[in-house]
Amino acid sequence: MIILLKIKNGTYNSIKTYLIELYRIILDWIQYFYILLICKIKKYNHIIQYVNPNDIANTVSRDDPTLRGNSVWHFGSTEGGNWDLNGYPVREYGNLYRIFEHRIKNAIEYEDIPEFREQLEMIENGGSWYGCETKGEYIRHWQRMETLYFSIMENGYKTQQELCSKKKFDEIRIQIGRKGELLFEEGFHRLVVAQLLNLEKIPVIVFRRHEAWANLREHVKRIVLKLGFIHQPFNHPDIDILPQYYGNHLKDQAFYGNERWGYILNSLPVKQGTVLDIGAYFGYFCHRFEDLGFECYAVEFDRNDFQILKEYNDIMKNKFIVWEKNLYRAGNECFSPFSEDKKQSR
């Protein structure tokens, strides 16, 4: 009887394991086709974008109700509200970053890292951490983390498709806040490794955008659809990628920008002062000069370009002044960036 019960229990556990795995496979395929369907409906020509991992400084708020359950169903969505304001710094999220940074950067043994001991003590007292419920599972977790780190260091960061993974879209997930902030959502282990290795670019999938940012992006998209390109880069991956997918593929980058800025930077005779950018377009050069500490004034007479310039300037909370005027047709009218008019030009 005992033998029969053991056989039955073994069979039951095998069937249970099989059904759970089957469920995961079916769910992965459903999510895969769901993402493809959304891409077709929204006319996305791209799913994966490439960003600097160190630009992902904060997480999405864990209190966000839309993250309960599987957030894949929110792929491609645009939402207003304050969901982008209450996240946590990536480096302070869950102790994982600090523990691994101590281990990799400082070559400290795990047992000598206070946060490691705290998490292990919690597990030994019946708690759970990243699915680890025993000391053995906890140790193996960090062994896998080190394997991942050295694999990426030696072979480079690869997409799931390059790894021949069954989960084609199981990349790091991010969301984009109202000011264009890249907010982490899922794939923390890979993000930590990418940041500690100081990689320049990694593949991510944008699952949601804040309404304010999406509106600005849509304005730029309309320009790309009309002209086939944009004159200046925004220095933001979610906008600079647009010409590659909606524009003239012969001009899949901004018409000018980074290269011209390099020439200007190398020729600057001063390191501080005032800059007047006539025909500022989207304000690229004012952004760059302001980063160096210059006081900047952007003049743009095209109404559509000015609206994007002002909206982007407000979103990014830049200090430089924007002014809608065609100085070449101003006649005898005088403009001074030091006049009282500048107070009303934002």
Q: CA-CA distances (angstroms) from residue 134 to 65, 89, 114, 155? A: 30, 28, 18, 32
Comparing 165-174, 189-198, 324-333, which segment has the lowest mean pLDDT? Answer: 324-333
Mean pLDDT across the chain: 81
Mean pLDDT to the nearest integer, 97-124: 91
Tens of pLDDT, residue by residue over 194-204, are 999 999 999 99
**pLDDT value of position 163:** 84
pLDDT at 14 exceeding the cut of 80: no
Which pLDDT value is given to residue 258? 76
- Give the side-chain half-sphere CA count within 13 A for 208: 23
Q: What pLDDT was estimated at residue 253? A: 62
185-192, long-range: CB < 8 A, 24+ apart: 185/59, 185/60, 185/67, 185/71, 186/71, 188/93, 188/94, 188/96, 189/96, 189/145, 189/148, 190/148, 190/157, 191/53, 191/56, 191/90, 192/90, 192/96, 192/97, 192/100
- The whole-number pLDDT of residue 40 equals 62
* pLDDT surpasses 60 at 251: no
- Side-chain-side CA neighbours of residue 236 (13 Å): 20
Closest CA to 316 of 342, 294, 288: 288
**Average pLDDT, stretch 51-68?**
79
Lowest-pLDDT choice from 40-54, 118-132, 331-345 = 331-345
Q: Looking at 36-40, 91-95, 203-207, 223-227, which range is the least confident one?
A: 36-40
- The predicted structure's pLDDT at residue 235: 77
The better pLDDT of the pair 254, 276 is held by 276
**Verdict on whether the full-model pTM lies above 0.85:** no
* 171 C-beta neighbours (distance < 10 Å), count: 21
Query: 3-state class of 322 per DSSP?
Result: strand
Nearest-10 Cα torsion for 209, 210, 216, 218:
40
Which range (107-121, 222-236, 251-265) has the least confidence?
251-265
pLDDT (0 to 100) of residue 57: 92
Question: 339 or 308, which is more confident?
Answer: 308
pLDDT above 70: residue 128: yes
> Residues 236-265: what's their mean pLDDT?
74
Residue 210: its H or E element: strand 202-210
| pLDDT tier, 346 (very low <50, low <70, confident <90, very high otherwise) | very low
Which two structure tokens, joined as six digits, stand for 182?
Answer: 């890249």
Nearest to 142 by CA among 110, 119, 113, 170: 110
For residue 202, what are the CA distances in angstroms to 192, 194, 195? 12, 8, 10
pLDDT tens per residue across span 294-311 = 999 999 988 888 888 888
pLDDT in tens, 15-51: 767 776 676 667 666 666 666 666 665 555 457 889 9
Tell which wins on pLDDT, 343 or 78.
78
Confidence band (pLDDT; 50, 70, 90) for 67?
Answer: low
244 burial class (0-12, 13-18, 19+ CB within 10 angstroms)? middle
What pLDDT, on a 0 to 100 scale, did the predictor assign at position 336?
57
Is pLDDT above 80 for 250?
A: no
